[in-house]
Amino acid sequence: MQSRRLLLPAAFAAAAALLFTGCVDNTSGGSPTAEPTDSTEVGIDEEASALLPDAIAEAGVLIMGTDAAYPPNEFKDADGNPIGWAIELSDAMAARLGVTAEYQIASFDNIIPAVTGGKADLGNSSFTDNAERQKQVDFVNYFEAGIQWAQPVGGDVNPDDACGLKVAVQSTTFEHTDELPGKNQACLDAGKPAIEILPFDSQDAAANAVVLGQADAMSADSPVTLYAIEQTDGKLEPAGETFDSAPYGMPVAKGSELAAALQAALQSLVDDGTYTEILTAWGVQSGGIDEITINAGS
């Protein structure tokens, strides 16, 4: 997703999820262990809401683009509605600003163009904040994630020496566009076999490819990989340690006043404990941060 986010046919991926036990199931059954945060109970922060651009304040709606295919951050429940810890966090952020969150589900690579084109106010889809993306948008940083690989239980995959392996990723993620191509080039430069990069439309399909033996390993953002491991009921385990930590950011139009409003609203959620409550409910509190920043990525 690029989060820090050749395709199998969609029909095959769906069939695999149904036919093989132990495969990833990222519907609402894999939701948090605690009760979801009720955004209606989150009070308005007057100072933060006063920073909202007039058009958004008057409309009373904050339009967010999300891919909703990256559990547990953003994904869909059984009815197709976006859920996940990042969705709950942005619901609470909107409530703190006195507006309602409205989600536009879109492919990941269309979200930043929607923001820069004025079709969405911001993106909420596990974007890694980096210098290249900052040329197009500003980022309000709200989480710290690294890269984590997973392998079948008992495997001996080394993410630093994956030459000759098949590695599954979600299409257009950082792992797909940057991490694995870089590692593959290093293999080629050393005269070693290439890494076969297998991109999938969704993260659960990438994880299922490992479970089904179609890939030797998968690479994704740390909270996503750890969630996928949990959902496979003992079929997968971590391969190596988490590495290359970087901030997640919500992209907004370059120079927009909205960035300061989102920063203030999120900081107030951090300060009163709501932020930690949401992250803890989903088991991702290790990536929590104390200070909400803007354009902290490099």
Task: Find the CATH number of the domain harbouring 172.
Answer: 3.40.190.10
Same domain, 52 and 127: yes
Same domain, 62 and 153: no
HEC secondary structure over the chain: CCECCCCCCHHHHHHHHHHCCCCCCCCHHHCCCCCCCCHHHCCCCHHHHCCCCHHHHHHCEEEEEECCCECCCEEECCCCCEECHHHHHHHHHHHHCCCEEEEEECCHHHHHHHHHCCCCCEECCCEECCCCHHHCEEEEEEEEEEEEEEEECCCCCCCCCCCCCEEEEECCCHHHHHHHHHHHHHHHHCCCCCCEEEEECCHHHHHHHHHCCCCCEEEEEHHHHHHHHHHCCCCEEEEEEEEEEEEEEEEEECCCCHHHHHHHHHHHHHHCCHHHHHHHHCCCHHHCCCCCEECCCC
Q: Is the pLDDT of residue 294 over 50?
A: yes
Within a domain: residue 295?
no
Q: For the residues 17-22, what does the mean pLDDT come to?
A: 32
Q: How many domains does the chain have?
A: 2
Confidence of residue 172 (pLDDT cuts 50, 70, 90): confident
Per-residue model confidence as pLDDT tens digits over 95-153: 999 999 999 999 989 999 999 999 999 999 999 999 999 999 999 999 999 999 999 99
pLDDT for 36 equals 52
Within a domain: residue 113?
yes
Within a domain: residue 9?
no
Within a domain: residue 42?
yes
Same domain, 165 and 107: no
Confidence of residue 32 (pLDDT cuts 50, 70, 90): very low
Same domain, 39 and 134: yes
Domain holding 176, by residue range, is 146-244
Within a domain: residue 23?
no
Q: Is the pTM of this model over 0.95?
A: no
Q: Is the pLDDT of residue 212 over 70?
A: yes
Mean residue pLDDT across the chain: 88
- Residue with the larger pLDDT of the pair 282 and 42: 282
Same domain, 163 and 137: no
Q: Is the pLDDT of residue 66 over 50?
A: yes
Q: Is the pLDDT of residue 1 over 80?
A: no
Q: Is the pLDDT of residue 25 over 50?
A: no
Same domain, 101 and 222: no
Same domain, 185 and 229: yes
Same domain, 185 and 94: no
Same domain, 170 and 227: yes
